[in-house]
């Protein structure tokens, strides 16, 4: 199956009623993050001007999850592929927890978007972004966290874990797509098909495998790792922080949202109605409006 990662943007525009004036100006970039091993982090760079915004996807996703949001915003921005995801290199230790990812994300930001000011991360990318913001206040002036907080119970991400922890290889593309549709009932089939094309690859024998690496680092499994120390990181970030919460998502509970506001120096919570965990997939135009307001405020 022929795949052109820059050839599907018109589908995003059509599905969400965005004006289409031809292909956007997007390029793929790579940043060296580990000189000893030669490991690189990849990113999509939108526009020619200095990026104003950096977007970081969730676990088992990739930079293309933000395509519709980027099209709607029409601001110069950078979408980073987390290590072990998309077109970024895999780590030899397969450690993909926030503490290991944050230094690489910060390095990529300094190389590609040193003056962006606004950092937005979703799920695993959101937890990673909290650390990046806390450790690099010169890089991050405003923080947006999409549908995640430093959680304290395993059950919140159970449905996500069930999907991500499924088979790594599928006999056919249609089999992979069918499982994706089954686990994402709120999304359109066309949207999920694009997502699979961006997030999987055809192997030489005709089977299909996910592009992301499976985490096996020594920090524990995703369903047992507790992120409580990240509350302290969030509290140490000196700038405004916004939590965008999906109204139908099980990941963020009322108590988590309250704690987010309490911990932040300047914290706010917005509920996106009709959105699940993946707000950028379920309600991308609403998320774009939220980010537009953050860019305007910055």
Pairing of strands 77-80, 39-46: antiparallel
Q: What is the pLDDT of residue 127?
A: 95
d(CA 292, CA 298): 10
Using alpha carbons, list the distances in angstroms from residue 173 to 1, 163, 196, 270: 9, 16, 9, 37
Intervals of the chain under pLDDT 70: 152-155, 157, 216-226
CB-neighbour burial class of residue 48 (10 A; exposed 0-12, middle 13-18, buried 19+): exposed
Contacts of 199 (CB under 8 A, 6+ apart): 60, 61, 62, 64, 86, 210, 211, 212
Residue 129's closest CA among 28, 53, 226? 53
Q: What is the pLDDT of residue 225?
A: 47
Using alpha carbons, list the distances in angstroms from residue 204 to 1, 34, 171, 208: 12, 29, 12, 9
CATH number given to 9-157+226-297: 3.40.50.1820
Domain ranges of the chain: 9-157+226-297
Q: What is the pLDDT of residue 217?
A: 52
Q: What is the pLDDT of residue 274?
A: 96
Q: What is the pLDDT of residue 154?
A: 57
Q: Where in the sequence numbering do the catalytic residues fall?
A: 123, 147, 277
Q: What is the pLDDT of residue 163?
A: 79
Strands of 200-202's sheet, edge to edge? Answer: 169-170, 208-210, 200-202
Q: What is the pLDDT of residue 86?
A: 97
Residue 246's closest CA among 221, 219, 283, 212? 283
- Which pair of structure tokens corresponds to residue 250? 């099980």
Read off the pTM. 0.95
């Amino acid at each position: 199956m022929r795949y052109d990662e820059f050839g599907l943007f018109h589908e995003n525009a059509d599905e969400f009623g965005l004006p289409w004036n031809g292909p956007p100006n997007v390029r793929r970039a790579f940043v060296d993050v580990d000189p000893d091993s030669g490991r690189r982090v990849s990113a999509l760079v939108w526009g020619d001007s200095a990026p104003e915004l950096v977007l970081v996807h969730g676990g088992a996703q990739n930079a293309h999850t933000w395509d519709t949001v980027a099209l709607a915003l029409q601001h110069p921005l950078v979408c980073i592929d987390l290590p072990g995801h998309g077109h970024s290199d895999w780590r030899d230790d397969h450690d993909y927890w926030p503490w290991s990812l944050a230094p690489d994300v910060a390095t990529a930001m300094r190389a590609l978007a040193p003056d962006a000011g606004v950092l937005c991360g979703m799920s695993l990318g959101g937890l990673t972004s909290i650390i990046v913001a806390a450790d690099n206040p010169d890089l991050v002036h405003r923080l947006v966290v999409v549908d995640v907080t430093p959680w304290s119970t395993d059950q919140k991400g159970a449905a996500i874990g069930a999907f991500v922890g499924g088979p790594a290889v599928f006999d056919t593309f249609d089999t992979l797509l069918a499982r994706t549709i089954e686990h994402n009932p709120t999304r359109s089939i066309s949207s999920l098909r694009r997502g699979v094309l961006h997030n999987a690859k055809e192997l030489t024998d005709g089977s299909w495998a996910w592009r992301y690496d499976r985490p096996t680092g020594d920090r524990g499994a995703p369903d047992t790792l507790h992120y409580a120390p990240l509350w302290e990181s969030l509290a140490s970030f000196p700038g405004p922080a916004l939590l965008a919460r999906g109204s139908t998502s099980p990941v963020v509970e009322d108590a988590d949202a309250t704690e987010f506001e309490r911990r932040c120096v300047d914290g706010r919570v917005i509920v996106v109605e009709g959105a699940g965990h993946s707000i950028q997939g379920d309600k991308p135009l609403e998320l774009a409006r939220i980010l537009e307001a953050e860019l305007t405020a910055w």
